[in-house]
């Protein structure tokens, strides 16, 4: 029996394996919305009945709302900050050639591969050693370090399609520097920038370890959820909150992907010569 026929025999099991794999991956997440709509304080089957009261309870939970607000502030700040830094880095890497370029790019990407908890502990040590008080600002700074690599990789692929001669063509056709930035530079790289904002916001929104170490007395949503898990009675509320966050994340990532594809389609052909 040849190797090929051996392989073919295993093949019928492949779809089953894939199905199992996805089940294992996504079933727990699917349970989240299911139990969040269940009229019982425990997460056990059979389901007790349909209710939206857990969602209603969220609205009146001022501590939770404060945490959500913190998360929003942190998320917006982190996404703006890391995208701005990412733009600088991506432009440097795609537009210029300089000594140590590869090393610089590598160092910027490094936080992606370092254990997050190690980074968190080191940052905490430094912050404490410097006598800085833990606050949302320290969370923002910590998460920015972490998000810049994501921002940069999204932006680099966006900028790579951007050719210097586009700006020159615009000047050549009579446009001013400001007009060129507005009519050419910005529209061409805008999808990449929006993608970067969305990706980094999403990452910040559910980042836990850095926020846990660096947030002090102002919890972000993940830190708040972590605190609530100690009280069994709070669980359904947490599930409802988790569902809301899940839906928000999925929406944002979908939007990002749509934008990325649109940008890709645009730049793809415009510069590839026949």
Note the residues at the interface with another protein (CB under 8 A): 161, 163, 165-166, 168-176, 179, 183-184, 187-188, 265-271, 273-274
Query: How many angstroms separate the CA atoms of 143 and 95, rounded?
Result: 27
Identity of the residue, 6 or 165, whose beta carbon is nearer to another protein in the bound complex: 165
Residue 23 is encoded by which pair of tokens? 């089940």
Identity of the residue, 114 or 173, whose beta carbon is nearer to another protein in the bound complex: 173
Minimum Å distance from CB 196 to another protein? 18
Report phi then psi at 50, rounded to 5: -85, 135
Query: How many angstroms separate the CA atoms of 192 and 153, rounded?
Result: 10
Minimum Å distance from CB 165 to another protein? 4
Identity of the residue, 127 or 189, whose beta carbon is nearer to another protein in the bound complex: 189
Minimum Å distance from CB 180 to another protein? 9
Query: How many angstroms separate the CA atoms of 77 and 16, rounded?
Result: 44
Minimum Å distance from CB 125 to another protein? 47
Identity of the residue, 106 or 187, whose beta carbon is nearer to another protein in the bound complex: 187
Identity of the residue, 131 or 174, whose beta carbon is nearer to another protein in the bound complex: 174
Minimum Å distance from CB 129 to another protein? 47
Minimum Å distance from CB 273 to another protein? 4
Residue 186: is it exposed, middle or buried by C-beta count within 10 angstroms (0-12/13-18/19+)? exposed
Which uninterrupted H or E stretch holds 235? Answer: helix 235-271
DSSP 130-199: TTPPPSHHHHHHHHHHHHHHHHHHHHHHHHHT--HHHHHHHHHTT--HHHHIIIIIHHHHHHHHHHHHHH
Query: How many angstroms separate the CA atoms of 67 and 223, rounded?
Result: 8
Identity of the residue, 75 or 161, whose beta carbon is nearer to another protein in the bound complex: 161
Identity of the residue, 28 or 172, whose beta carbon is nearer to another protein in the bound complex: 172
Query: How many angstroms separate the CA atoms of 109 and 113, rounded?
Result: 8
Minimum Å distance from CB 176 to another protein? 6
Angle, helix 186-205 to helix 235-271, in steps of 10 degrees: 160
């Amino acid at each position: 029996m040849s190797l090929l026929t051996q392989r073919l025999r295993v093949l019928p099991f492949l779809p089953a394996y894939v199905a199992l794999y996805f089940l294992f991956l996504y079933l727990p997440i699917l349970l989240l919305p299911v139990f969040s709509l269940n009229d019982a304080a425990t997460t056990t089957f059979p389901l007790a009945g349909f209710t939206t009261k857990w969602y209603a309870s969220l609205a009146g939970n001022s501590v939770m709302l404060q945490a959500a607000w913190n998360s929003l502030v942190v998320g917006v700040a982190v996404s703006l900050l890391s995208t701005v830094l990412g733009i600088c880095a991506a432009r440097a890497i795609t537009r210029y050639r300089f000594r140590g370029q590869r090393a610089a790019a590598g160092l910027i990407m490094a936080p992606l591969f370092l254990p997050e908890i190690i980074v968190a502990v080191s940052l905490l040590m430094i912050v404490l050693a410097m006598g800085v008080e833990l606050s949302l600002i320290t969370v923002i700074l910590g998460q920015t370090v972490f998000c810049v690599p994501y921002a940069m990789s999204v932006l680099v692929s966006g900028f790579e399609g951007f050719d210097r001669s586009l700006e020159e063509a615009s000047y050549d056709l009579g446009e001013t520097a400001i007009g060129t930035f507005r009519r050419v530079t910005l529209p061409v790289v805008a999808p990449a920038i929006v993608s970067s904002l969305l990706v980094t916001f999403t990452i910040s929104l559910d980042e836990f370890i850095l926020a846990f170490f660096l947030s002090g007395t102002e919890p972000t949503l993940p830190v708040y959820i972590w605190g609530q898990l100690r009280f069994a009675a709070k669980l359904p509320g947490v599930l409802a909150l988790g569902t809301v966050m899940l839906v928000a994340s999925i929406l944002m990532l979908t939007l990002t992907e749509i934008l990325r594809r649109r940008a890709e389609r645009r730049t793809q052909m415009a510069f590839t010569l026949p």
